[in-house]
Amino acid sequence: MIDYEKDSLDYHQNTPKGKIGIKLTKPLNSQEDLSLAYSPGVAGPCRKISENIDKSFQYTNRSNLVAVVSSGSAVLGLGNIGAYASKPVMEGKAMLFKKFSDIDVFDLEVDSLNVEHFISVVSSLEPTFGGINLEDIKAPDCFYIEEELRKKMSIPVFHDDQHGTAIIMAAAFLNALELTNRKITSLKVVINGAGAAAIACANILLELGLRLDQIFLCDSKGVVSTNRKDLNTYKQKFARQTSFEALKDVIEGADAFIGVSVADVLSPEMLKSMNNNPIVFALANPNPEIDPDLAKRTRSDVIIATGRSDYANQVNNVLGFPYIFRGALDVRATCINEEMKLAAVKAIADLAKDDVPDEVLSIYKDNKTFIFGKDYLIPKPVDQRVLLKVAPAVAKAAMDSGVARLKIDIDNYIESIEKLLGPLRQTIRSLRKETKKNNKKNTRPKIVITNGNNIRVLKAAKQVSKHGEVDILILGNKDKMKLSAQNVGLSNIDHLQIIDTRTVEIKEEYQKSFKENIDTTNLSELEVINRMRDENTYASLMLKLKEVDGVVSGVGIPYAQAVRPILHHIARGEKSTLAGVYILVINGKMMFFSDCTMNINPDTDKLVEIAESTIKVAKQYTKDQLRLAMLSFASFSSNSHEDCKKVSRATKILQNKKLGIEIVGEIQADAAINQQLRKEEFPDCKLTGNANILIFPDLSSANISYKLLSNIAETAVAGPILAGLKNPANVLQRWASVDEITNMIYMSAHQASKSN
């Protein structure tokens, strides 16, 4: 069992202390670097900014820097602990910004409870930051501070305790209304709590169409009514003319209860008195206004959300603030206005209706419930897709409402921020874009994928089919697929094109084509037909007969079993040697490793053909200058072993072919990718930069290298691409993930569009 007190203290005090640091974003390795970073070179950007202060976004980190600012006067669960003690919380907030949206943060703890002084301090720091996130400031001070800072500053100022909670709550609320067939204009809503978050929740519901006369607001003293004389300005807005005094009086007949208050204030009796299908958002932390299990035992028709991760429907601010600021910063918005908040609400609400990706499901044990419904109103906080939905929605709303300094193309923007989800994401997005451009009018590449009974294949096919850039044809048992889809909460798959090779009529041209490559002398007609019903064989024949543009196979079966029909039936290019090429993205750089799957110990001629096929693949996937290294355990004839000689001979043949790229070898792996080492040890080496195509001398070294790198370094891997065929037929590893299958479908479609 975790000892949170002890473990957290150790976590925070281990070296380096705290949770955040600063890293350099430009090189500082030479006198020249120092002269550019500091004096005298730094005078250049200083002069530009002095002429136009908006240039500070261009020449400094301001465009990606947010301040998390607090006085420590209202820290969740701890109260007024002061500025010093609040710093661990603010560092934690900084981590969330960086982790989820790659925004840099300085946490600023202002040791002052004087609101005017606080406002003065924060507003004076505008030259440093692109945005201000206010955090853990007591009400009603927080309202006034945010209002004044918004007036004084021309960058986004956002009190997350107010608006973050409200935005996520509102997204869940919209979906709860949809599930219960309610209209927002005909509700009775009770909000318990009248602090920053509660007031913000009430205000955002008004923006969504609720009226003041539909809301009963309660605080620690009871119903906020016009009879009371102790109300601040912000509560007065919601004061009702009523004789009701307590929560129990106003809850009867209510459609919704939103609690941002304290534990256990909503009793089972109160819940019973609510309308049919009551919506209960019990958001108090750490203990909600009513225990969710108790609520469900009391009312089977209740829809309940909390602020806790151990219950369904967690209303968690991390679904909002990182992405709202991302979108706001990227168009240099002057504020975060109501239009931007509502855009975030709708984007989050809509995302809950999409199928949940495997990377989210794998984190949770109760993944069967992750389908839009009572127990899944909003996406999970770890769902990376939120970035691609919320940030663009916020950026567009900023532009549409006139508060954006920059105008951007939203489609290009989505492509650019996708790299934050991993280096391959942006690459695949670019391939999809190019595939669409290459397609003839009203045509799309048709890719057949085998082993459709495997749920990972089914999920990938459904995902690709939804985007509409590739026509997917799945081989498998439709009844089994439907059952599998139901078991994991995958929505309707009826629109997918499915062929069951066990029952499909085997056409005469298929039989003729099969017999061209396979000796059927000793086989009966029935045996021939049965062999052709093998999904991998059938898919290969489809490609051979041009009924599809590409094949993806291999999931759930041995590599050799999947590749064998391809070798038998699909024509090769000019060269007879096939090679398995993996794309690795390391520190943002794309590299090609070959041959990782096909040839155990290739001779000189095969190495030449492997290299030529790999160059063709590389040209399809990168616009970077290509540099090829023929790898060995020795460099430039320093060893006379035959394993080195064959690589040296292959290198000379390739160089004489004048293929238009730099080719060196034989060379050791470290020298191939370390320019400084080459300068010192091999000054005559003609490689002008690090190699990005690595041809390994044998299958063992290639396969071991890519697998080690993919598991011990921050490396994204795609493949293997089967190089050397006339048409794309690619075989995945049997354990390939949904993302890997999806990527391979898009890569195969891209290959097909290029060849067409």
CATH architecture of 4-155: 3-Layer(aba) Sandwich (3.40)
**105 confidence band (pLDDT: 50, 70, 90):** very high
User: 380-417: per-residue pLDDT in tens?
Assistant: 888 889 999 999 999 999 999 999 999 999 988 998 89
Burial of residue 559 (CB within 10 Å: 0-12, 13-18, 19+) is middle
pLDDT over 90 (residue 507): no
Whole-model pTM over 0.85: no
Q: What is the pLDDT of residue 360?
A: 79
| Distant-in-sequence, close-in-space partners of 617: CB < 8 Å, separation ≥ 6 | 581, 592, 594, 721, 723
Asked about 93 being catalytic, the answer comes back as: yes
CB 307 within 8 A of CB 283: yes
CA pair distance 511, 490, nearest whole angstrom: 36
pLDDT over 70 (residue 1): no
Q: What is the pLDDT of residue 365?
A: 62
**491 confidence band (pLDDT: 50, 70, 90):** low
Q: What is the pLDDT of residue 441?
A: 62
- Domain edges within the chain: 4-155, 165-315, 319-421, 434-487+497-569, 579-723
CA pair distance 248, 611, nearest whole angstrom: 77
CB 500 within 8 A of CB 476: yes
CATH architecture of 165-315: 3-Layer(aba) Sandwich (3.40)
**667 confidence band (pLDDT: 50, 70, 90):** confident
- Mean per-residue pLDDT over the chain, rounded: 89
Asked about 706 being catalytic, the answer comes back as: no
Fold of 579-723: Rossmann fold (3.40.50)
Burial of residue 18 (CB within 10 Å: 0-12, 13-18, 19+) is middle
Q: What is the pLDDT of residue 331?
A: 97
Q: Which helix (H) or strand (E) holds 709?
A: helix 699-712
Query: What is the SS3 assignment for 298?
Result: helix
Q: What is the pLDDT of residue 368?
A: 56
**442 confidence band (pLDDT: 50, 70, 90):** low
Q: What is the pLDDT of residue 400?
A: 96
Over range 83-111, report the average pLDDT.
94
Q: What is the pLDDT of residue 267?
A: 95
Task: Considering only residues 2 and 672, tell me which one the structure prediction assigns the higher pLDDT.
Answer: 672
CB 573 within 8 A of CB 726: yes
CB 736 within 8 A of CB 456: yes
Q: Is the dihedral of CA 74, 77, 82, 88 positive or negative?
A: negative
CA pair distance 132, 334, nearest whole angstrom: 11
Q: What interhelical angle do 141-152 and 160-179 show, nearest 10? A: 100
**Of 17, 84, 93, 396, catalytic:** 93
CB 491 within 8 A of CB 376: no
Q: What is the pLDDT of residue 145?
A: 96
Number of C-beta neighbours around residue 534 at 10 A = 16
Share of the chain above pLDDT 70, in %: 97
Give the C-alpha distances (Å, rounded to integers) separating 183 from 177, 397, 425, 474: 7, 24, 39, 41
| 3-state SS string for 614-625 | HHHHHHHHCCCC
How many helices (DSSP H) and strands (DSSP E) are in the chain?
Answer: 31, 21
Q: What is the pLDDT of residue 111?
A: 95
Q: Which helix (H) or strand (E) holds 85?
A: helix 82-101
Q: Which helix (H) or strand (E) holds 109?
A: strand 104-109
CA pair distance 563, 554, nearest whole angstrom: 8
231 φ, ψ to 5°?
-90, 135
CA pair distance 163, 148, nearest whole angstrom: 16
Over range 81-92, report the average pLDDT.
94
Chain position carrying tokens 């890997």: 740
Query: What is the SS3 assignment for 697?
Result: coil
Mean pLDDT is lowest, of 335-349, 559-573, 596-610, for 559-573
Question: Which amino acid is located at 63 in the chain?
Answer: S
Q: What is the pLDDT of residue 489?
A: 63
Over range 629-656, report the average pLDDT.
83
Domains 319-421 and 434-487+497-569 share a fold: yes
Over range 255-266, report the average pLDDT.
93
DSSP symbol at 79: B
**374 confidence band (pLDDT: 50, 70, 90):** very high
H-only helix segments in 439-507: 455-467, 478-487
Task: Considering only residues 689 and 114, tell me which one the structure prediction assigns the higher pLDDT.
Answer: 114
CATH architecture of 319-421: 3-Layer(aba) Sandwich (3.40)
Q: What is the pLDDT of residue 292?
A: 94
User: 289-344: per-residue pLDDT in tens?
Assistant: 999 999 999 999 999 999 888 888 989 999 999 999 999 999 999 999 999 999 99
User: 186-241: per-residue pLDDT in tens?
Assistant: 999 999 998 888 999 999 999 999 999 999 999 989 999 998 888 888 899 999 89
CATH number of 434-487+497-569: 3.40.50.10950
Q: Which range scores top for mean pLDDT: 419-423, 527-531, 719-723? A: 719-723
Token output for 54: 């908006």
Mean pLDDT is lowest, of 53-67, 492-506, 587-601, for 492-506
Over range 164-176, report the average pLDDT.
95
**Of 11, 38, 657, 686, catalytic:** 38
Over range 412-433, report the average pLDDT.
83
Burial of residue 489 (CB within 10 Å: 0-12, 13-18, 19+) is middle
